[in-house]
Amino acid sequence: MVFDIETGRIRLTASGDDAFIVRKGKKIKIPSVESGAEKKNSKLEEGDTVISGSKTIINIEVSYNKGKENPIDDWKSRASKDVGMGPNSELSVSGFEEWDKTDKDKKRHHGELIKNIELKKGFFYVSYSNTDDALITPVALVKFMGNGGSGGSFDVYENILYSNAVTEKGVEYTNISTKKSFIAKSSVPTEIIVTQDAIYKKGMLRMDDIFSPLSSIGIMDTLKGVALKSVPEMDAGKMAEQYKNMLNTMDQVAGGFEMFGQMSPDDLERMMKMGEAHGAKITPEARKQMKELPEAMKAMGNAGYMGKMKEAMAMGKGFMEGLGGEGLERLAKMQTKGMAKMKQAREQMGQISVGEGKTASVETILESPRKYKPLNEDAKKVA
């Protein structure tokens, strides 16, 4: 049996009914997480364009180990690219890489990544971590410097890039037309604007309202929170019952580990025949995997996996038994209340100031035409 280890993943999710992949002239609908059908999403492919229409938000998450086929056990080897697309936005993806390698210890490392993400138009929240790949826009290449994660908001609007991606590590903007670059490096919010022929900078007190610190937090939370929209309402009673049932499940799983580890190939063959006699359908692949179970369990034991799994299960069971029935019920009530408060807080964060004591939702603001201040004395040309 081969140990299946995913070392790179691309995840595509959408909230709203107007999310599509455009591939070779054809539109492929991306199901909304609210529909519960997100697992049926089409896989992104080389050269795809992703578009979000009205009242629709899309997330693209790329995460991979730089070692890929030979993973490096170090957090710095994990790279990620996350993009949250606002309504009426468009981007394209290219530079796909895939790998699938099984080593002598029967560890299969497989995965995929996207090298190039190009923002075509619209509003985005982007975060890159531990990668030298540049974010591509129509007027600028944007490179996040340093090993840590960094990101910010980007608006490709009327052939101009407006953004507030500034960190202490530095973000390098290179104008595609002039080839001139500017490194935005600051511990305070700053707006960077790139036109066809120049790069401009606005300080925190002069930046456009949509990039203010409070607005940026609300926008980030909205554009990056698609997955949470699929979380159903939590019932404290049902959750407490599930916790209580988990104790029996843990015992059954632990017993299964012990049983399979001690069974011979003949024992497994007899067990499969008994299952088939009772109507079970066992495919040739499943039969092959069952016969390899004892060897796999032994390998897991030698690698220390079994010990760690048993230790984790014992700790979890001890914790739950220590709480007791009433304690588990209190835990479930506390978690459901916490989730409700978190959703309420998210809704409040999604309302941002539009001046004169008025607020509006992030979705409403991003659906509306933006009103950027002219590039006059408020903006300093830096490249």
Q: Sketch the domain layout of the chain as residue ranges.
A: 3-231, 236-347
Q: What is the pLDDT of residue 37?
A: 56
Query: CA angle, corner 215, sides to 212 and 216, nearest 5?
Result: 80
**Dihedral, CA of residue 193, residue 194, residue 195 and residue 201, to nearest 10:** 40
pLDDT at 92 over 60: yes
Query: Looking up tokens 């996996």, which residue turns up?
Result: 305
More reliable by pLDDT, 284 or 211: 211
Average pLDDT in the 363-367 region? 83
Q: What is the pLDDT of residue 250?
A: 61
Tens-place pLDDT, residues 16-58 = 999 999 999 999 999 988 776 555 557 899 999 999 999 999 9
More reliable by pLDDT, 113 or 247: 113
Percent of the chain with pLDDT over 90: 37
State the pLDDT confidence band at 260, using cuts at 50, 70 and 90: low
Reading phi first (left if > 0) and then psi (alpha if -120 to 50, else beta), residue 60 is in: beta
pLDDT at 280 over 80: no
Percent of the chain with pLDDT over 70: 73
Taking Cα atoms as reference points, which of 173, 16, 12 lies closest to residue 88? 16
**Angle of the 236-262 helix axis to the 293-302 helix axis, nearest 10:** 100
pLDDT at 277 over 60: yes
Q: What is the pLDDT of residue 309?
A: 65
* Structure tokens belonging to residue 353: 């100031």
Average pLDDT in the 314-342 region? 71
Q: What is the pLDDT of residue 299?
A: 65
Average pLDDT in the 129-158 region? 90
Q: What is the pLDDT of residue 90?
A: 98
More reliable by pLDDT, 75 or 130: 130
CA distance 311 to 61: 32
State the pLDDT confidence band at 14, using cuts at 50, 70 and 90: very high
State the pLDDT confidence band at 283, using cuts at 50, 70 and 90: confident
State the pLDDT confidence band at 97, using cuts at 50, 70 and 90: very high
